[in-house]
Amino acid sequence: MADPTRPIGDRAARRIAVISMHTSPTASLGQNANGGLNVYVREVATAFSDRGIATDIFTRRQSPDDPAVEQLADLSRVIYVPAGNGLDKYSLYNEVPLFARRVADFAGREGLRYDLLFSHYWLSGEVACLLRPRIARTWAHVAHTLGLVKNRALATGAIPEPALRIQVEGEIAQQADLLIASTEEEGVDLVDLYGAEPERVYVVPPGVDLAMFQPIDRAEARSKIGYGDGRLLLFVGRLERLKGVEVAIRALALLRDRAHDDVRLLILGEDSKDGEESEKSRLKSVAEAAGVRDRVDFLGSVAHHELPYFYSAADVLVMPSYSESFGLVGLEAQASGRPVVGSNVTGLRSVIRDEVSGYLVDGHDPAAYAERIGRLLDDPELAQQMGRRGRLLAQRFSWARTADRLELLFDRVVERAQLRVQASARHE
């Protein structure tokens, strides 16, 4: 493999600076702010490398063990920038100028000029805003989540996204050359809520690793994760009120009241640490009060490559989210041949087909979730049918397809920028 400390040079057809300030593509999933964004950045960078496109991914150094530079793929490096260690995502805003300056310093030392900035999440968008046009003339942005959308459907006790974030997202929507939305509905939100020009908004769905996520024999999967007989529900994600884990716990309590005594709920993920309160501690108290603490297992975060065993071991994946920009976890479960019971929100509607590959539930009434989960537990043949259909639906989503669409859009925006520069030079 190439030396990660050496510039890639002429081997790359195009060079992109990927900004992922608040979370790293190499971090463990389900802890702190780590989740679908990490997977997205890693998979797209890897797919770009296969296409001869070089990516330098700039993220924060979060541990003394992080190297200065790490190779992700043949043409992709992760550069760990010392800025904002140990801070939550809102406090990180004050570190944006330092982070941007150190990215620019790195590019200057290596003599790099990028074709495009590709930023992820609002904090990284603010970084990209400071860096353009210093290290690249063009800029594409993926929001991943939008503050105004999250604030429309807050869980009880959840803290609204601050005005600062909304303001920054509005600035990004006005200034980025290209805004990538994961769903049609997110694209509409960018235009209607943030005033983005429709001609700069394009919908490119994320993908799923279809080679990694596929059905595994249930007995083998359960042996791998240390579970035997009994029916299993699964939740995967960060522990924060947005994800609605409390709904899943209360649904389990209702199922247990209906003689489903063997059912367990496995919770994969750690606290998001965006506030002082521990969501895991709160959820344990909820389970205790509901009488199901002995049936809820908090397993922490797991490596991404271990997730297929958990999906295949489970009977049902439960996703009671209040908001999802894209249901990547639901897509991974379907690719693994498992039915999903999730909330009827934008990101999940884009990947789950109600009564085809699972159930979409309006609202967050635990009884409604218990009823849908119960249907699947009581009818294994129905669950298997939905799992097979989900696997077929998942075939429509691949990271190769995502990378192909992004490459086409990036080529267009870079070429337009080059034409503008040439036209300006002729007029001088």
- Domain extents in the chain: 9-207+398-427, 218-394
Q: What is the pLDDT of residue 3?
A: 47
Question: How far is the C-alpha of 57 from the C-alpha of 248, rounded, in Å?
Answer: 36
Q: What is the pLDDT of residue 83?
A: 83
Domain spanning 218-394: which superfamily?
Glycogen Phosphorylase B; (3.40.50.2000)
Q: What is the pLDDT of residue 4?
A: 46
What does the pLDDT look like over 213-242, one tens digit per residue?
999 999 999 999 999 989 999 999 989 999
| Sequence-distant contacts of 180-185: CB under 8 A, at least 24 apart | 180/140, 180/141, 180/142, 180/204, 180/406, 180/409, 181/143, 182/142, 182/144, 182/206, 182/325, 182/326, 182/347, 182/350, 183/325, 183/326, 183/346, 183/347, 183/349, 183/350, 184/350, 185/346, 185/349, 185/350
Q: What is the DSSP letter of 53?
A: E
Q: Residue 398: helix, strand or coil by DSSP?
A: coil
Question: How far is the C-alpha of 263 from the C-alpha of 269, rounded, in Å?
Answer: 20
Return the CATH fold of 9-207+398-427: Rossmann fold (3.40.50)
pTM: 0.90
Q: What is the pLDDT of residue 419?
A: 78
Question: In 193-263, which ranges are E strands?
Answer: 201-203, 232-236
Angle at which helix 121-131 crosses helix 96-110, to 10 degrees, equals 50
Burial class (CB in 10 A: 0-12, 13-18, 19+), 414: buried
Residue appearing with tokens 């960060």: 238
Q: In the structure encoding, which two tokens stand for residue 156, read together?
A: 């009880």
Identical fold between 9-207+398-427 and 218-394: yes
Q: What is the pLDDT of residue 321?
A: 96
Q: What is the pLDDT of residue 9?
A: 47
Per-residue pLDDT of the chain (428 residues; tens, 9 = 90+): 344 444 444 556 799 999 999 888 887 654 445 578 999 999 999 999 999 999 999 999 877 778 899 999 999 999 999 987 767 778 889 999 999 999 999 999 999 999 999 999 999 999 999 999 899 999 999 999 999 999 998 988 888 999 999 999 999 999 999 999 999 999 999 999 999 999 999 999 999 999 999 999 999 999 999 999 899 999 999 899 999 999 999 999 999 877 788 999 999 998 876 555 789 999 999 999 999 999 999 999 888 899 999 999 999 999 999 999 889 999 999 999 999 999 999 899 999 999 999 999 999 999 999 999 999 999 999 999 999 999 999 999 999 999 999 999 999 999 988 877 666 666 65
The answer to whether the Cα torsion of 80, 83, 89, 95 is positive or negative is negative
Give the burial string for 214-246 (b: 16+ CB within 10 Å, else e).
ebbeeeebbeebebeeebbbbbbbbbbbbbbbb
Sheet-wide strand order for 340-343: 296-300, 264-268, 232-236, 316-319, 340-343, 358-361
List, in sequence order, every residue forming a beta bridge with 271; answer none if it has no partner.
239
List, in sequence order, every residue forming a beta bridge with 407; answer none if it has no partner.
none
What does the pLDDT look like over 119-172, one tens digit per residue?
999 999 999 999 998 999 999 999 999 999 999 989 888 889 999 999 999 999
Question: How far is the C-alpha of 104 from the C-alpha of 379, rounded, in Å?
Answer: 58
Question: Which amino acid, residue 269?
Answer: G
Question: How far is the C-alpha of 266 from the C-alpha of 234, rounded, in Å?
Answer: 5
Residue appearing with tokens 């247990």: 256
The strand pair at 116-120 and 14-19 is best described as parallel
Asked if residues 343 and 320 have their Cβ atoms less than 8 Å apart, the reply is yes
